[in-house]
A and B are shown apart, each in its own frame.
Chain A
Amino acid sequence: MNIIYLSYRSILAKPLSSLLSWLLLTFGVTIVVLILLISNQLKNEISKNSQGIDLVIGAKGSPLQLILANVFHVDFPTGNIGLKEAAKVTRSRYIESAIPLSLGDSYQNARIVGTTKAYADLYGGEISDGVWFEGPMQVVLGAEAARKLQLKIGDEFQSQHGLSDDGDSHDAHPFKVVGVLTTTNTVLDKLILTSIQSIWEVHGHEEEEEHHHEEADSLVEISHLEIAVTQEQFDEEEITAMLVKYRSPMGAVMLPRAINSESSFQAASPAFETARLFNIIGVGVQILNLLGILIISISAISVFIALLNSLKDRKYDIAIMRSMGATRSQIFNHILIEGLLITFVGGISGLIISHGLVYVLASSLEGVNPQAFNFLNEEWFVILGCFVIGALASVVPAIMAFKTDISKTLSKG
């Protein structure tokens, strides 16, 4: 027999009110911790996927959309930009390197990205199987894309126009898988990479193809983009965006303004746009957090009321325990521990449920890596907070129990 067991049995003796307190606290903690975990993972994902990208240059439109489409591959592109002007822009002395991207096609919801090897290097993606694409119509799959699409090296598939399932398929131009990348835990894993020329070829007009071989000998090198194209392609073709790395911090000051005012393109910074995105969703996060804290407070009140109510019934129990030799402090601890046990168990179950939910959510969301069992330091504060709330809710009933006048209580019978 000990005091903790006594408190535990006392909780079980009034299952309904204990259940209510437990449910409220569990629910409140679940909300608070869930928000904590999700916003933390979201920030992780964003910083992982925008690493090494200082600026995105693309067609005019919403800067946020430009970032979402070209860095995170979630929104639709803003449009295309002419290769000729893009090449001119990359000659700026503020640009260290630029990676061309050409979006717009997909295969079974996996986006096909026309780019160069530099794009895979950006995320540390290496060939785990097969080779890097060299010829036209060859693709390299991200690790997750390969798994989901169940494609192997040597397989061929027809891409669809557009980024959703219902696009027209490009029957005449099948892609061939030549390599699969290692897992990088970034957006790269869910993409299909190919050369920019392959994208042009899929969309190219028949007449252009006829010229293809005639002009093959007069290639134009675009050194900053690390691609070489024919003069006709250079004049006429388009890409979707460029991912730019600055040569010096001065680039951050000069380059976006120069591009936005002097070219027909727009430039957007991933860091700035994601910060803006967080500001927009921040209000909702705060409201949810407040709601969680409100529910936790209601649970504290419910623990308080439950204890206070039970005191009326238990006055005699307490007096009897005192008659058997229990000290005042033992009685105080008995009531306090009862409140603490409920809030502790509620807090722990809230943590378990929120981690479970993150696991389920993350597994069902594409491209997000479930890290459900990563515990954050903030969670210790939540548990500590539960203890403080449990203590606050039970300290008054505990003091009242401490002060019980045994003789008076027992003589009332």
Chain B
Amino acid sequence: MISVKNLSHTFSDGTKLTFPDWQVQKGDHSLILGPSGGGKTTFLHLLSGLLKSQDGEIRIEGENIAAMKSSELDHFRGQHIGFVFQKPHLVKGLSVHENVLLAPFFGKKPERKSKIDEVLKELGIEAIRNKKINEISQGQAQRVAIARAVINEPDVIFGDEPTASLDDESCHAVVDLLRKQANRCNATLIIATHDSRVKSEFKNQLTL
């Protein structure tokens, strides 16, 4: 379960953003909607511990991450959170399965080969496991990014505009895959987007 109370963030230029109190039950999936520049990404970064908040309380599975030190946040992210971004941003020097392997390595989770093969298979990309990143397509790359996000069986998966650069068909496929994978590892899926194609897919929505 995720709960947000009295959360606000002040940027270095003095702009202050205040966020509404919010709760998402474990396993529920939710959208964060709003126009570009409306604070969606900031809210997502605060929720996921990428950005430290100055005020308020953010509880994920009972732990208040707003009070954590930066090194504790690193550890918490590795253990409990998975990310999918607008672009896959895979590490070019590594192969597909090595890219997926980065998540358990940095997240200090067991690096199990069988687990990786299983996830790659579910995402339909087991055939490219040994390929280099510059040899695979954009759609395949986004699937690798999803595999990387779910391999550690996180409690929460955050998506920051994961569909913005995809065509309609891939957009639906990616949302579908994300939801399936989140359900499989009983994770809460939270997607920040302004993509209207995604809106109809989720009941729970928070508009900023």
Contacts and interface: CB of A to CB of B under 8 A. Distances in A.
Interface of A: 1-2, 6, 9-13, 316-317, 320-328, 330, 406-407, 410-411, 413
Contacts of B98: 1, 9
B50 A410 contact: yes
B102 A323 contact: no
Interface in B67-89: 70-71, 74-75, 77-79, 81, 83, 85-87, 89
Contact of B45 (A13, A317, A320, A411): A411
16 contacts: A1-B105, A9-B93, A320-B85, A321-B91, A321-B106, A324-B78, A324-B83, A325-B75, A325-B107, A328-B70, A328-B71, A406-B51, A410-B41, A410-B85, A411-B41, A413-B87
B144 to A, nearest CB: 12
Given A1-B111, A323-B77, A324-B106, 20 more contacts: A1-B101, A6-B91, A9-B98, A12-B93, A13-B93, A317-B89, A320-B83, A322-B74, A323-B48, A323-B81, A324-B77, A324-B83, A324-B102, A325-B77, A325-B107, A407-B45, A407-B50, A410-B41, A410-B45, A410-B50
B67 to A, nearest CB: 18
Instruction: Report which residue of A13, A324, A328 has the largest number of chain B beta carbons within 10 angstroms of its beta carbon.
Output: A324
A330 B89 CA distance: 19
Query: Do most interface residues of chain B lie in helix, strand or loop, or is the interface mixed?
Result: helix
B94 interface: yes
A413 B85 contact: yes
A410 B104 CA distance: 20
Looking at chain A's contact residues, the main secondary structure is: helix
B8 interface: no
Interface in B175-198: none
Interface string B40-72: 011001001011000000000000000000110
A325 B78 contact: yes
A325 B106 contact: yes
Nearest to A318: B91
Nearest to A1: B105
Interface in B23-52: 41-42, 45, 48, 50-51
A317 B85 CA distance: 12
Contacts of A323: 48, 50, 77, 81, 83
Contacts of A413: 85-87, 161
B89 A316 contact: yes
B160 interface: yes
A411 B9 CA distance: 15
B57 to A, nearest CB: 19
B85 A324 contact: no
Given A1-B101, A1-B102, A413-B87, A327 B71 contact: yes
Contacts of B87: 413
A72 B86 CA distance: 76
A325 B108 contact: yes
